[in-house]
Structures are given as structure tokens and as C-alpha cells.
Chain A
Amino acid sequence: MNVPAPNSTAPKLTGAEKIDVTITAIVPLNDLVTRFEFKRSDGSLFPTFSGGAHTVVEMQDGDRKRLNPYSLMSDPANRETFAISVRRDDEGRGGSLFMHNKVKIGDPMVISYPVNLFSLDLRARKHLFIAGGIGITPFLAQIKQLVRTNGNWELHYSCRNASLGSYVDELTQKYPHSVHIHYDDEKDFIDLENLLHGQPIGTHLYVCGPKGMIEWVRSTAGAAGWPTAHIHYEEFLAPKPGKPFAVRLAKSGVTVKVGAHESLLEAIERLGVEAPYLCRGGACGQCETDVIESDGAFMHRDHWLEDEEKALGVKIMPCVSRFEGKTLVLDR
């Protein structure tokens, strides 16, 4: 995983391989969401990807570097252009604001090779997609993939209101029979229980959206007897700010102070210590790190470790989790 792409001038980091790209289009879709399109700076083709894959975008904001994952929403068969759609988050840690306010057409950027943690189960007889807001993005690529392969799918897309419904017009025009839109402000909500009831055997369910929606869909489907192997979800957690804390990295022999607004992973990287990652959102498991010694409380926020592992305090996912206490020593 940590081999740099041979034709990349990107600095060596430990995520997926890097690709140098140039911003070729910036398309505002509505008040909150803007699409960014990339081409490879060396003119060559992108790798193919499968619908549901994300790329980690590196943002050099002054002396601060952010790496944020975004779902690729362009056609997986289009190897000339990759596209992501970014929702502006005024309260967030600044990645989306950087994209919205600082990035210009022609700017060079570095993105990672696609990594898919939310792929279609191609054994499915039918794919049932539930999207909330910006959670539509992975489905845009998956739908293009399924249309090409004649797949059986259906989308239920819930948006706050018509003016914030990214890609609603395109979807309803192209696929009037497969796409169902629900607007919160019209009090039109997805009737999930009825929707799940009677779905043919072999249906797989996919949900991407706010945390509450993911939990609602997973628990409703579980209560209706859907096996967990048929329920897929993707939620990238953004690292949350917290109290600053100190960590000793035993192998590297250094101590680092994690700032209130940076993640543990970012602090480790700031010192130049190599640390593995892929999703940077608590989902993939790549950054799992052994705890050698601790005296204090862990703020585990990932979807990766089992509850028992979290309780034992012998492992931490530095991309999203934090610590408060006297001592923390990591095997890194």
C-alpha cells in the first residue's frame, strides 16, 4: 500500500498510491454543493474504479495539509475525468471550505488511487439504494455502472428541499421509473417499512447519508429480517476536535502534542512518522495502531474496532479517535 506511484512527484505518504491531477472544471450545483473535475496532469488515463469508490484529496492550505475522502461520482468507465461533489460545511474542519473558496481551475492537486469500501455486491438480484443529501454521490457512480451492465436497481433519495437536491433533475430525467425523490420540506419522507416489505429475495440494500439515517435504515431492515450481509452502508466520519493531548510514539522515539483541531493521525504525520491509512474516516481498518501503555480515557469514534476491543483500550484508530489523560504510548 505504501509504494508511491512511479510517475508521481507527490511526497511519499502511506495511503493508497497518489495521482497528480489538475482541476479542469468547477461546477456549482446549488447553494451548498459544488462539483470538481480532475484530469491527470501528465495527460495519461486514470485507473478504472468500481462504483462506490472514494479518493483521498490532499489539500495544501498554507502550511496545513488536509486529506479528505470523497466518493467518486463520475462514470467509472470514464478514464479521462474523475469528479467529486463537495458539500460546503461551514462548521467543519475546513476541508470543504478550502475546496469551495480556494481551489481554482488549473490548480494542481494530488489525489489518491480509488479505494472502494462501499462496493456493489454483484451477486444481488436487485440493488436498493437509500440516499440522504450529499450521500447521493457514491450511488451516482454505482448507477452508471449498473446501467451499463443492465443491473436491476432503484433509488430513494431524500433531500432537504428542491433547491438543495443535487443531481435530482438529471436522475429523474434519465431514470424516471427507478428514481424516487423525497423532500423534507414537503413532509415527504421515505416510507421505509413499506419499501422494504416485499422486496424480492436477493435484494441488497445500500444506504449513504447522515448518521441518523444510516442507523434508521440498518435497524429497520434488521427488524424486518434482512441479513446483515445484505445491508451495506458508508459513513465517513470527520475527525472531531477535542482537548489537546500528548502521545509518545515508542518506535520512532518521539512525543507529539495533538492539537485541539487536528486528528491523532494528522499529528503523527506532521512529525514525518509514517502511519498507514486509507479512508481517514474510521471505516477501513488500515490505521489500526497498538497501544503500548495508557493512563486515561479513549474517545473511540471508529466503525472498525469491536466494542470489546474498544473497552480493552489496547488499540486505537488514529484517523478519528482521541484520548484524554496522563499517558498514551503507541507502537508507532
Chain B
Amino acid sequence: MSTFNFPESIRSRPVYGTLQAQVGKSHLMIADAHGAEAVLEMAAKEPAMMAQSHIIYIPKGMQFGLQIQALKPAQYYEGPSYAAAVSRIKRVLSDAAMGLQIYLSGTEGLIGQAQYEVMQAGFDYTAIQTEHRGSVARRMQCVHCKGITEDVMIDPFQCSHCGLNLFVRDHYSRRLAAFQGVCIDAEEPGNVPPSVELYS
């Protein structure tokens, strides 16, 4: 099962919904890994939307590409990584017109970074449909060295840039599309609890 119920947390922590087809002139879906399932489920309910849909998919090792193509979207692009897909995303957004509906699904890293690009295009983030699917790994910024690490799965986490031991907070930045990691042993260097997997 690719869905996960995040426990309630502070206001800063993003919350996700369930993708639902919106009335609009065209549709842009950006998904990674298991996020494809959310797109497939929405399309099953509203197959007509596919004729005006542009789907950008980053498989991350998953095998949903053929199923998505079988939906016959107006345009389909598959990218090997988010970094490879982002220039395409920027291009699509810069050419887009109002009436476009935007759907993001998959990991928090994908949703957050794509949402950032959408916001840069001047589109209100509250109008974006999002659905979390798959890994609960986080994109995290070390607040000390500002280095960003993708797919953080454990807490505490040793910063992959500066080596500090970081407490992975629920405090989230939309501008950075990242959770904040804060030094956990500043008062007592070396006093670091054993790492556990997130949400274990």
C-alpha cells in the first residue's frame, strides 16, 4: 500500500489530500514513483480529462510508465530524476495559461519542489491538488550549513554536508521545499540518541 496517514503535527508541516479532477481548460500532473497510482486513480474516475492533460513522471525505479501512457494523455514526459525534469516543468509553467489545473503526487520531496516552481510562476499554492504516495523520506535542509539532503529516512540524521547530528523537525519551508534539521547535541556534544526510522 502506497498511502500513509501522517500523524497530526505543527501547522508548518504540509498536509496532503487526494487528487481530484478540477474544472479547467487543461491539466498538468507531476508525479514520482508511487505518485503514479494517484494519477491513475483520478484518471479512472475522469477519463475525459486526459485529452487536455500533460503528465510528467519520474519513475524512481517503479514500473508505472506504460500504464500512464495507456491513459493517452495529450503529452507525456518521463524523466530519470527531478533534476532532469525541472527544466521541462519550468518551461511548461512559463507557457501555461490561467485555467490550468495542477496536480502533484508522490514523495514529499517531489511535491514540495514542484510546488515551489508553481509558486514561482505566480500561481497560488492553495490552488494546487496534492497527494502523498510512497516513501515518507524527506528532503531536509541543515539549518547550520544550509546543505540540502534528499530522501532522509532516519532521525537523528548526520548532515551529509557538515557532519553535525541533526534533529529532523516537522518545521517546513515552502521556499526551500525542505524540512529543517537542527543540531541535536549542541548543549552536550556527543549526547545523541540512537537514530530511528521516520514514523517507525
Q: Which of B93, B94, B99, B123 is A196 in contact with, Cβ under 8 Å?
A: B99
Q: Are B23 and A199 in contact (CB under 8 A)?
A: no
A-contact 0/1 string along B78-104, CB 8 Å cutoff: 000000000000000110111111000
Please state if B23 and A201 are interface contacts (CB–CB under 8 Å). no
Contact B122 A199 (CB under 8 A): no
Please determine whether B100 and A225 come into contact, CB atoms closer than 8 angstroms: yes
Per the bound structure, the CA–CA distance linking A228 and B122 in Å amounts to 14
Tell yes or no: A125 within 8 A of B by CB: yes
Q: Which residues of B contact A202 (CB under 8 A)?
A: 121-123
A11 within 8 A of B: no
- Is there a chain B Cβ closer than 8 Å to A227's Cβ? yes
A223 and chain B: residue at smallest CB distance = B23
Are A201 and B96 neighbours in the complex by a CB distance under 8 Å? yes
- Give min CB distance, B119 to chain A, whole Å: 8
Closest chain A residue to B98 by CB distance?
A: A199
Which B residues touch A228, using CB under 8 A? 127
B126 lies within 8 A of chain A by Cβ: yes
Cα–Cα distance between A224 and B25 once the two chains are bound (Å): 7
* Majority secondary structure, A binding face: loop
Q: Pick the contact of A229 from B23, B96, B124 — CB < 8 Å?
A: B124
B20, CB-defined interface residue at 8 Å? no
Q: Once the chains are docked, how many angstroms separate the CA of A199 from the CA of B97?
A: 5
The residue from A201, A227, A230 contacting B97, defined by CB atoms under 8 A apart: A201
Residues A197 and B127 in contact, CB atoms below 8 Å apart: no
| Interface residue? B193 (CB, 8 A) | no
B25 and A225 form a contact (CB under 8 A): yes
CB-based nearest A residue for B100: A201
Check if A198 is an interface residue, CB within 8 A of chain B. yes
**Count, chain B residues at interface, CB 8 A:** 19
B135 at the interface (CB under 8 A from A): no
Contacts of B123 in A (CB 8 A): 201-202, 227, 230
B24 at the interface (CB under 8 A from A): yes
CA distance A196 to B119 in the complex (A): 20
Would A225 and B124 count as touching, CB distance under 8 A?
no
Q: A223-B23, A224-B98 are in contact. Are A229 and B121 (CB under 8 A)?
A: no
User: Which residues on the B side are within 8 Å of A230 (C-beta)?
Assistant: 98, 123-124, 127
Q: B22 in the interface, Cβ–Cβ < 8 Å? A: yes
Indicate whether A124 reaches chain B with its CB closer than 8 angstroms: yes
Task: Tell whether, in the assembled complex, residue A201 and residue B127 are in contact, meaning their CB atoms are under 8 Å apart.
Answer: no
Question: Are B122 and A227 in contact, CB atoms less than 8 angstroms apart?
Answer: no
Is the beta-carbon distance between B25 and A201 smaller than 8 angstroms? Answer: no
The interface residues of chain A lying within 8 Å CB-to-CB of B121 are 125, 201-202
Contact, CB under 8 Å: B97 / A200: yes
Which residue in B93, B99, B119 is a CB contact (below 8 Å) of A226?
A: B99
Query: Contact string, A290-311, partner B, CB cutoff 8 A, digits 1/0?
Result: 0000000000000000000000
B97 partner residues in chain A, CB cutoff 8 A: 197-201
Q: Which residue of A lies closest to B120 (CB)?
A: A202
Question: A230 — nearest CB in chain B belongs to which residue?
Answer: B124
Cβ contacts B99-115/A at 8 Å (1 or 0 each): 11100000000000000
Interface 0/1 of A183-211, CB less than 8 Å to B: 00000000000001111111100000000
Q: How far is the CA of A289 from the CA of B160 in the complex (A)?
A: 55
Binary interface encoding of chain A residues 7-46 relative to chain B, with 1 for a CB under 8 A from any of its CBs, else 0 = 0000000000000000000000000000000000000000
Given A197-B25, A224-B25, also A229-B100 (CB < 8 A): no
Q: How far is the CA of A223 from the CA of B22 in the complex (A)?
A: 10
Q: Is the CB of B98 within 8 A of A200?
A: yes
**Would you list which residues of chain A between 112 and 155 have a CB under 8 Å from chain B?**
123-126
B140 to chain A, nearest CB (A): 26
Report which residue of A198, A201, A224, A227 has the largest number of chain B beta carbons within 10 angstroms of its beta carbon.
Answer: A201
**A196–B98 CA distance with the chains assembled, in angstroms:** 8
Nearest CB to that of B124 among chain A residues?
A229
Q: In the complex, which residues of chain B have a beta carbon less than 8 angstroms from the beta carbon of A203?
A: 98, 122
The distance from the CB of B158 to the nearest CB of chain A, in whole angstroms, is 37
Report the minimum CB–CB distance from A264 to chain B (whole Å). 34
Query: Is A225 in contact with B122, judged by CB distance below 8 angstroms?
Result: no
Are A224 and B122 in contact (CB-based, < 8 A)?
no
13 chain-A/chain-B pairs, Cβ below 8 angstroms: A125-B121, A196-B98, A197-B99, A199-B97, A200-B97, A201-B93, A201-B97, A201-B100, A225-B25, A225-B101, A227-B123, A229-B124, A230-B124
8 extra A-B contacts, CB within 8 A, seeds A201-B122, A202-B123, A225-B22 = A197-B99, A198-B97, A201-B123, A202-B121, A224-B99, A225-B100, A225-B101, A229-B127
7 closest pairs, A vs B, by CB?
Answer: A202-B122, A225-B24, A227-B127, A229-B124, A125-B122, A201-B96, A225-B99
